Every structure is written in C-alpha cells, then in structure tokens.
Chain A
Amino acid sequence: MSEQRPDGITPSQTVGPYFKYGLTPNGEYAWNDAFTNNLITPDVSGERIRVEGTVFDGDGVPVPDCMLEIWQADAQGRFSDPQDARALPNSSFKGFGRVGTDANGRYSFDTIKPGQVPDPDGKPQAPHILLAVYARGMLLHLYTRIYFDDETANTEDPVLALVPADRRATLIAKRKAGAANPAYVLDIHLQGDNETVFFDV
C-alpha cells in the first residue's frame, strides 16, 4: 500500500498532571501496569542494582507528577531488540522500565548494571542507562543518561567527553555507602545551577 508522505511528525504535548492512572497505576487504580520500575527477571545475569533519586524543578522543589522511563542493555551490552543484530534471542531481560515519582518527587529502579555498548565507530561506551523525563509542565520529554561513579570506563566515554567537565557530575550516579545491595543515587534537576545535562538527539 503506497501512502502519501506525511508533511511532518506529530508534535509532542505534555503528559499533564493526570497520567498516573493510565501509565503508572501501580495498584492504585483499576488498570494494570504495562511496565514497572523493576526490570529484574529471575534468570537474568549481571549485578543487581538499584538507581534512585529525586526530580527537582527550577526552584529546587521536588516534582511529584513526573514520569521517568529507562532503556538499557543487558550485562553483556546487548539490547532486547531485533534491531541489535548481536542480541541474544532468548534473553528474557527487556531493558525497559517506567516509574512515576512519588509525592516527594522520588523515584527508583531495580535493574542490572548494563554492559558496554559500542558507539557508531565501534568504540566502547562506558556502562550507561538512557533516561527520558516527562512531567506536567514539560511539553516535550527530555533525554539524559545515567552513568556510574565506580566505572573507570567513564574517562574514555565518547558522550561524557562532549559534556563540559563541570557539568559531568549531573550524569553520574553515586554509589551509596553502606547499602545492603548495590544502590546508586542520581537526582534530576530540570533547571537551575545544578541543571542536569540533557541531550539534543
């Protein structure tokens, strides 16, 4: 079937204040979750980790009506998507998670530490998780990345290298001392002095 070529993409609009019952009901509404903030499947290999933090607006006020989505490779650096020709066909790890921030703007994901993914030149990138941020008051979501402060590969990462040194810390989750299970903390600042680095991609 030949279709007329569209005159452009469909514009984005905000998720608004009321997305929760549709996208992140979490047992509070008569609807089921398509995705949750727990990506761990029983058979998945790799280090189990938690990533957590708070989302803040330009006044430093926590954002309670924010949705975060993550997309990541498995511990071998492979994506659960046939477009990644290297993918393991029987991997049950989906690599996608979604969460709504709570009343205090807090979020968390339980997942595994991703492996290294090559850049377009075949150069390995440091382990990272893609993060998309949606909220009331955001007409178009923002893309950023979560890196890990205990990865020596960060110094060689081609994306981090594009970020001014004084802003790199906004992308690097800090390992929590004394936690029973490995946990990392990364706060998201939508605006302000400590504004998170977002990508034009």
Chain B
Amino acid sequence: MTLLYPLQSLAAHPPRLSPGYRSTVKRSPQKPLIPIRQTLSELTGPVYGHETVRENDHDLTIQHKGEPLGERIIVHGHVRDEDGRGVPNALVELWQANACGRYVHVVDQHPAPLDPNFTGAGRAQTDASGYYRFVTIKPGAYPWGNHHNAWRPAHIHFSVFGHAFISRLVTQMYFPGDPLFPFDPIFNSVTDEKARARMISSFDLENTQPEWALCYRFNIVLRGRNATPMENKQ
C-alpha cells in the first residue's frame, strides 16, 4: 500500500506562533521551515506488537486497588486516513487529569485532590477497521497561568501513530458544549471552525451502557491519502 502525504492537509493545524498561548512565543521557529522531498525515512514508521499494548491498558478505571472517583465514561472511535479508510494497528496513547482536574504529574500543584485510584494514562491499538476503545473517567477543567482566570476546557490528550513518521499526531479531545471553548487560546489556536470541531467528541447515546457509563465518540483523521483512488482505476 502506498500513501501520499499532501502538504496542503497541514493547513488544519494551528500556527506554531499563536501569541494568545504565551508559551508559543519563545518556542516557535522564526526562520522559514525548509521544504524537502518525502523519502523512505519520512514515509515509514514504527510497528508495534502485543508487548506495547497489554490486555487492560485501555481501561484506566482498573489500574489500582479501588475504583477511581468521578463519572465513568467510554471513549471510542476510529482512526482513519484522509480518504476515510481505517488505519489498522495504530497505537493510540492517552493521558488526562482526574475528575477534579488534577494531573498526577509532580509539576501540577493546583489545589484539587489527587485520586489514589487514578493515574490517568492508557494505551490501545486499533483493530483491523481502525477502531479503538477506552474506559476512563471524565476529566475536570483545570486552571493554568496563561492569563488572568485562565481555565482549560475538560480534555483528554491523545498521541497517535499512523503509517508514517510524518503522520504522527498529538492532539486533545474535547467534550461537546463546553462553556470554556470561547476563552481557551489552545483550543482556538486552530483558526478554522470546521477543523476545531474535529477535536470535539460527540455524545454517543447508542453506545452508552445503561446504568454503567456514558459514551463519547472521537474519530481521528491522520495525514495520508490513497495513492491510487478507486475512480482512477481502469
């Protein structure tokens, strides 16, 4: 299978210098990026096995002695390429704050409790159709120091590997209808409204499990396009 990675697709990403998010000011290059051809180095990528994703790595609610506090949720969806084809065996990693908006990271010292039964890290591998599924806790919003009264909308960090080193994606999944959206410079660093909407999960009543967990669907689209589209075949 040969895929193409058009540069135009990258227009969906936020500009690296987005001054509303202050930390970008000293951490974005000022000299122009140099265009190069995509060689075998760029067009290949790592492959994983069962040693990378263990049986229960997708369930963040069973990693400790007791159950974590908060609202149990299912987060699932498909990883697809730009033509809508599922990306099989894609590695999906996630990390997030607990229900109170607190991360276990030592640098996060904001006054909300840690949960001894919740670390907040998980891993899954997509099946043959590109489908993945996690069980976790709905994360809380949390404050940060970017500007006065700055709060991040509730989000889950995602890291995804596609077919190539240049289809690598790190993003954040948001929840529908969050009142903090208009005020968050990270969310709004994506300037195109349609592209922003692709970071927001949708509530999935059909796959909500009665008396157990609400479900959210988050479909992820990676760079990569079929080099030989069906309509061009004789």
Residues of A bordering B, CB below 8 Å? 1-23, 25, 28-31, 34, 57-59, 61, 63, 65, 69, 71-73, 79-84, 94-96, 117-120, 125, 128, 130, 132, 134-143, 158-159, 162-163, 167, 190-192, 195-201
Residue B121 at the A interface, CB < 8 A?
Answer: yes
Determine whether the beta carbon of B13 is less than 8 Å from that of A11. Answer: yes
> Given A18-B95, A31-B119, A120–B37 Cβ distance below 8 Å?
yes
Determine whether the beta carbon of B129 is less than 8 Å from that of A12. Answer: no
CB distance from A18 to the nearest CB of B (A): 4
Interface of B is mostly: loop
Determine whether the beta carbon of A195 is less than 8 Å from that of B170. Answer: no
Determine whether the beta carbon of A23 is less than 8 Å from that of B40. Answer: no
Determine whether the beta carbon of A13 is less than 8 Å from that of B123. Answer: no
Determine whether the beta carbon of B29 is less than 8 Å from that of A142. Answer: yes
Residues of B bordering A, CB below 8 Å? 1, 7, 9-10, 12-16, 18, 21-48, 52-53, 63-64, 78, 80, 82-86, 91, 93-95, 97, 103-108, 119-121, 123, 129, 157, 159, 163-166, 168-172, 186-187, 189-190, 192, 194-196, 198-199, 219-223
Task: Name A12's closest neighbour in chain B (CB-CB).
Answer: B13
Task: Name B1's closest neighbour in chain A (CB-CB).
Answer: A83
Selected from A12, A15, A34, A137, the residue in CB contact (under 8 A) with B24 is: A137
Task: Name B102's closest neighbour in chain A (CB-CB).
Answer: A18
A-B CB pair tally, cutoff 8 Å: 265
Determine whether the beta carbon of B107 is less than 8 Å from that of A84. Answer: no
CB distance from B112 to the nearest CB of A (A): 13
Determine whether the beta carbon of A117 is less than 8 Å from that of B39. Answer: yes
Task: Name A200's closest neighbour in chain B (CB-CB).
Answer: B33
CB distance from A170 to the nearest CB of B (A): 10
Task: Name B168's closest neighbour in chain A (CB-CB).
Answer: A132
Determine whether the beta carbon of A22 is less than 8 Å from that of B42. Answer: no
Determine whether the beta carbon of A190 is less than 8 Å from that of B29. Answer: yes
Residues of A close to B78: CB separation below 8 A: 3
Determine whether the beta carbon of A71 is less than 8 Å from that of B165. Answer: yes
| Alpha-carbon gap, A118 to B39, bound state (A) | 8
> Given A21-B119, A30-B63, A139-B13, A191–B30 Cβ distance below 8 Å?
yes
| Alpha-carbon gap, A138 to B22, bound state (A) | 10
Determine whether the beta carbon of A81 is less than 8 Å from that of B47. Answer: yes
Task: Name A30's closest neighbour in chain B (CB-CB).
Answer: B119
Determine whether the beta carbon of B166 is less than 8 Å from that of A143. Answer: yes
Determine whether the beta carbon of A14 is less than 8 Å from that of B186. Answer: yes
A to B CB contacts below 8 Å, 8 in the list = A3-B78, A8-B9, A11-B12, A13-B186, A14-B172, A17-B105, A72-B41, A84-B44
| Alpha-carbon gap, A34 to B93, bound state (A) | 9
* Extra inter-chain contacts (16) besides given A9-B9, A195-B30, CB under 8 Å: A3-B78, A8-B9, A8-B195, A10-B198, A12-B169, A19-B95, A22-B157, A63-B27, A79-B40, A81-B44, A95-B46, A125-B39, A139-B14, A139-B18, A162-B36, A190-B27
Task: Name B164's closest neighbour in chain A (CB-CB).
Answer: A83
Determine whether the beta carbon of A199 is less than 8 Å from that of B41. Answer: no
Selected from B82, B105, B222, B223, the residue in CB contact (under 8 A) with A20 is: B105
Determine whether the beta carbon of A119 is less than 8 Å from that of B24. Answer: no
Residues of B close to A59: CB separation below 8 A: 26
| Alpha-carbon gap, A117 to B46, bound state (A) | 16
